Amino acid sequence: MKKRVAILGSTGSIGCQALDVIRQHPGIFQVEVLTAGKNKKLLIEQALQFIPGHVVISEESLYKEIRDALASLPIQVHAGNKALAEITTLESVDIVLAAMVGFSGLLPTIAAISSKKALALANKETLVVAGELITQLANQHKVTIVPVDSEHSAIFQCLAGEDQNMPEKIILTASGGPFRGKSRHELEHVTRQQALNHPNWCMGDKITIDSATLMNKGLEVIEAHWLFKLSPQQIEVVIHPQSVIHSMVQFEDGSIKAQMGLPDMRLPIQYALAYPMRLKSTLPRFDFADYSQLTFEKPDLTLFRNLVLAYDALNKGGNMPCVMNAANEIVVDAFLKNKVSFLQIPEIIEKTMASIPFISQPALEDYQQSDHEAREYARNLL
C-alpha cells in the first residue's frame, strides 16, 4: 500500500522538495494533506496537481478563496491553527512531514505524535523549544522521529546498526555560510541579499539567515541533544565549506563514520519518508574527482556568537532554548525587513535571554508563555 503523507508546510523549501520526491515515486507515496501559512497561490497549484484529501491554510481570511478554487475537486479545505493540529490525527494519514518553520510547528507535531503517526521532522525548532516534552511523548507513544535535517539524517544513518555501540561524540558539519572568514568590519554593513546568498544550499529565507549567523547550527546542536540523547560536551561543530560530509559519529574505539553526498535536501527527505527502506533516485551522484580537497576548520565563536548562545541555552536548559528561539525568530524577521543590522542579531538575542524569567521544568503552557514574552521583549529592543 502507498504511504499516505501529510506535509505541514508544503509551500516552503522542504515541502516543495518533498513533493518533488513524491512526484518521482508515485507508486510508493500518496499526498493526503497539504498545509500552508499564507501562500494561497502555490497551495492551490499543489492541490490541483496532487489532489490531496485535505488542504489547510493557517490564515483564515484566505479560506473562501482556496475553497472556491478547489470546489470542483474532492478536496476538503480547512483553515486556522486548530485545524492544522487536528489534521495530523486523521486515520487517512500514515506519516507526517513536519516542515513548518519556527514555533508554529510545535502543536501540530505534538498532535501527530499523540496520534502515533510516523514522523519525519524538518522543524528543528520543535525540539529546540520543547525537546523534553516531545521526546517523552515519542517514547510514550512509541513513535520513531526520523530527522530530515541533512546533519541529523547523517547521524541517524551512521548510527543505524550500532545499537550496541554508544557514540563517544557526534560532529555536526557546517558550511560556514556566505560570511565564513570575514572580519567584524566586513560584517558591519552586509545586506539582506548578501546574507541570503548561501554558497551550497537552496533554502528558505529564515533558515538561510540562520545559516549565515550560525544560529542554524546552534539549533541543530540542541536538536541533536534530544534526538540522540547526548550531552552538550558530546556534540561538536566543525566548519566544512564543501558540504559533502553531512555529519559524523565517533565511537568509543576512536572509529569515525561519516555520511556523504552532494548538498541536496531531497536525499534526506526521501530517506525519512521511505524509512526504513532506501529508494532508488535519479538525483545527481557524487564524484570524488570533482572534489580535490575536503577541508575542515573550527567555527569563529568570537564573531558568530549565536552558536555560543545556543550552547549556553542548552546547558542552562528549562525554557531558555525556547526564549532564545523566539528572540531569534523576531530578530531574523527584522533583519529580512532591513530593521536591524547583521551584527545586532546576537546582541538582541543575548539581551532577551538575560531578561526573560527562567523556568527550570516548564510545562507546555510555560513554553507558550515564554515564547510570547521573549517575542515581545525582542520586539521592544528593535
Task: Give yes or no for a cis peptide into 276 (omega within 30° of 0).
Answer: yes
* pLDDT at 201 > cutoff 80: no
Q: What is the pLDDT of residues 1-39, one digit of tens each?
A: 899 999 999 999 999 999 999 999 999 999 999 999 999
List residues bridging with 310 in a β-sheet: none
Q: Mean pLDDT over all residues of the chain?
A: 95
Q: Domain 3-143 falls in which CATH fold?
A: Rossmann fold (3.40.50)
Sequence spans of domains, the chain = 3-143, 150-264+293-304, 317-382
pLDDT of residue 372: 97
* pLDDT at 202 > cutoff 80: no
Q: Distance between CA atoms of 339 and 317, rounded to whole angstroms?
A: 30
Q: What is the pTM of this model?
A: 0.91
pLDDT of residue 103: 83
What is the length of the chain?
382
Contact call for residues 177 and 211 (beta carbons, < 8 A): yes
Q: What is the pLDDT of residues 87-102, one digit of tens each?
A: 999 999 999 999 998 8
pLDDT of residue 147: 97
Q: Collapse the DSSP code of 276 into the 3-class scheme (helix H, G, I; strand E, B; otherwise coil) and give the result.
A: coil
Contact call for residues 368 and 104 (beta carbons, < 8 A): no
* pLDDT at 198 > cutoff 90: no
pLDDT of residue 24: 95
Contact call for residues 29 and 269 (beta carbons, < 8 A): no
- Parallel, antiparallel, or unpaired: how do β-strands 235-239 and 245-251 relate? unpaired
| Phi, psi dihedral angles at 54 (to 5 degrees) | -145, 145
Mean pLDDT of the region 267-294: 94
Closest by CA to 105, choosing from 43, 221, 198, 14, is 14
- Parallel, antiparallel, or unpaired: how do β-strands 256-260 and 245-251 relate? antiparallel
pLDDT of residue 324: 97
* pLDDT at 116 > cutoff 90: yes
Mean pLDDT of the region 325-339: 96
- Cα 240 to Cα 150, 173, 181, 246, 262: the distances in Å are 13, 6, 12, 9, 13
Q: Collapse the DSSP code of 99 into the 3-class scheme (helix H, G, I; strand E, B; otherwise coil) and give the result.
A: coil
Span of 100-109, 183-192, 300-309 with lowest mean pLDDT: 100-109
| CA 117 centroid distance within chain | 18
Span of 142-146, 184-188, 199-203, 288-292 with lowest mean pLDDT: 199-203
Q: 359: which 3 cell numbers?
A: 523556568
Closest by CA to 299, choosing from 196, 138, 173, is 173
Number of Cβ within a 10 Å radius of residue 196: 16
Q: Collapse the DSSP code of 379 into the 3-class scheme (helix H, G, I; strand E, B; otherwise coil) and give the result.
A: helix
| Strand ranges in 145-220 using DSSP code E only, listed in sequence order | 145-147, 167-174
- Cα 228 to Cα 95, 155, 166: the distances in Å are 21, 9, 10
Contact call for residues 65 and 40 (beta carbons, < 8 A): yes
Residue 207: pLDDT band with limits 50, 70, 90: confident
Closest by CA to 249, choosing from 151, 335, 336, 113, is 151
pLDDT of residue 101: 81
Q: 106: which 3 cell numbers?
A: 510545535
The CATH label, of 1.10.1740.10, 3.40.50.80, 1.10.10.10, 3.40.50.300, for the domain at 317-382 is: 1.10.1740.10
Q: 81: which 3 cell numbers?
A: 491553527
Q: Distance between CA atoms of 69 and 44, rounded to whole angstroms?
A: 7
Give me the numbers of helices (H) and strands (E) for the chain, helices first please: 16, 11
Helix (H) or strand (E) holding 95: strand 95-98
Q: Distance between CA atoms of 375 and 95, rounded to whole angstroms?
A: 32
pLDDT of residue 273: 98
Contact call for residues 213 and 356 (beta carbons, < 8 A): no
